[in-house]
Amino acid sequence: MNLKARNDATPSLRIIPREQHVISRKNISKAALRVLYRLNEAGYTAYLVGGAVRDLLLGGHPKDFDVATSATPEEVKKLFRNCRLIGRRFRLAHVVYGQEIIEVATFRGTGEEDGDGDRHIVDGRIVRDNVWGTIEEDAIRRDFRVNALYYDISDFSVRDYVGGMQDVENRVLHLIGDPATRYREDPVRMLRAARLAAKLNFRIDAAAAAPFEELGPLLLDAAPARLFDESLKMFLGGHGLKSFHMLEQCGLLKFLLPATARALKRGDKALRGLIEQGLANTDARVAEGKSVTPAFLFAVLLWGEVRDLAHAWMVKGVEDSVAWTRAATHVVAEQCQRVAIPRRFTITMEEIWSLQPRFEQVQRKRVFRLMAHPRFRAAFDFLLLRAAESPAIHELGEWWAHAQQLPHETLAAALSGSGAVPEAPVATTASTAPRKRRRRRKPNGKSGAA
């Protein structure tokens, strides 16, 4: 593919001098500055590029700093002792300073795949991209215009080859070149459009959004491991709720989370509430610097389908615990074909789900056994989210919250009917059991006793 076919934009350089933009060295990590200066001193050109420049222009604090340079990976390695070369599909140098990694990429060119470089294109998809080139070529092979801005440490200017600065000002995402071609090269760019629009509060330009419907199915062939990484960026990056809404708006949710899309389509308002609250809580935790886990996130996103499948099997007479296990296994297996959720997380997801019916069993022994379960905390947080499902679940959540506050002896006495009885949960309408088979249970486990 030649440069013209690939991109309709012919790069023309606009240099924005220091006094006309807001980027200050103060906000750039020391490690990134060292890499830039060292490369410059060694006679190479080197710029800060991509998300970091974009976020700095928007007044944000980038988490990672990427550098683009004329030096090849081997030349970068010679300059830095703390450097390792990574990637096959896309070769890069990582310069490591303690916890921080600066990603240093050589300018990518637009050479032919059968030229002397190393680019492979299969069915329009770029599967390998190791052709070195000029900065102009590097700029136009990036995805969005706002992601193709270069900060020059030698004079503190910003170099703009494709109109990215204008887009930052207008808060819009334009793809560089022909959108359909760029999505065919790499369908994950569609998800990146949705994610960046959510994160930056930008709109997606109409031409960039138009191909979603036709080309969305290409995501079905994207590498599941990459979709897992992208999912974490979307949902655990602090803008999960907005990313979710944006995926729905763009019509892309069904390709990433088919079970979630199906369950929501059945018109379940409570499920929507649960997912939105789960994502909002996750965003709040990220904002507070607290830890978040993919297991809880995917447990939230897939709950509706697990619950509905389990119910369907129970109604058919399958034993409760078997129905739950089977539903969980089924939903996880389907999801992992799209998004490679590592096993350690799917195990926790299945535990969170399988503990849900156990919150309805409030006999003394079972209560203490559940509280001692290593996944109790996560499963309890999940129960609280489910409060939106029914008033009964809400009450159940309150009962368990209260029970955890009580000293062991008080709770034990209450559960065996001899102490001050905590407010009893009305487990009868809690909806982990399908309607037909609902049983009445009292807190002391003795049927009919108060």
Q: Could you list the active site residues?
A: 64, 66, 143
Cα distance between residue 237 and residue 230, in whole Å: 10
**3-state per-residue secondary structure call for 254-293:** HHHCHHHHHHHHCCCHHHHHHHHHHHHHHHHHHHCCCCCC
Rounded to the nearest whole angstrom, what is the least distance from the CB of residue 57 to Mg ion in the complex? 14
How far is C-alpha 190 from the chain's CA centre?
14
Which tokens hold the place of 90? 């896309």
Minimum Å distance from CB 66 to Mg ion?
6
- In the bound complex, what is the minimum distance in angstroms from residue 149's beta carbon to ligand ATP? 9
Site size toward ligand ATP, by CB under 6 A: 12
Per CB under 6 A, the list member of 137, 186, 283, 308 interacting with ligand ATP is 186
User: Which among 185, 180, 176 is positioned nearest to 126, based on CA atoms?
Assistant: 185
Site string for ligand ATP, 222-261 (x = CB under 6 A): -----------x----------------------------
> Of the ranges 69-77, 141-149, 326-334, 417-425, which one interacts with ligand ATP (CB under 6 A)?
141-149
* Amino acid identity at 240: G
The residue (of 50 and 443) whose beta carbon lies closer to ligand ATP is: 50
Cα distance between residue 72 and residue 105, in whole Å: 8
Binding partner of residue 233 among ligand ATP, Mg ion, none, CB cut-off 5 to 8 Å per kind = ligand ATP
Closest approach, Cβ 27 to ligand ATP, in A, equals 15
51 sits near ligand ATP (criterion: CB under 6 A): yes
Q: How far apart are CA 9 and CA 140, in angstroms?
A: 8
Residue 189 binding target from Mg ion, ligand ATP, none, CB below 5 to 8 Å by type? ligand ATP
- Strand pairing of 149-152 and 100-106? unpaired
Would the CA dihedral through 309, 314, 320, 321 be positive or negative? negative
SS3 state at 93 = strand
Q: Using the rule CB under 5 A, is 51 a contact of Mg ion? A: yes
Helix, strand, coil content of the chain in percent (nearest 5): 55, 10, 35
Among 301, 186, 302, 310, CA closest to 244: 301
- Is residue 335 near ligand ATP by the rule CB under 6 A? no
Segment near Mg ion (CB under 5 A); pick from 49-57, 74-82, 255-263, 369-377:
49-57
Helix (H) or strand (E) holding 241: helix 240-250
- Nearest to ligand ATP of 186, 205 (CB atom): 186
Interactions with ligand ATP, residue window 303-322 (CB under 6 A): none
- Contact residues for ligand ATP, defined by CB under 6 A: 50-51, 64, 66, 142-143, 147-148, 186, 188-189, 233
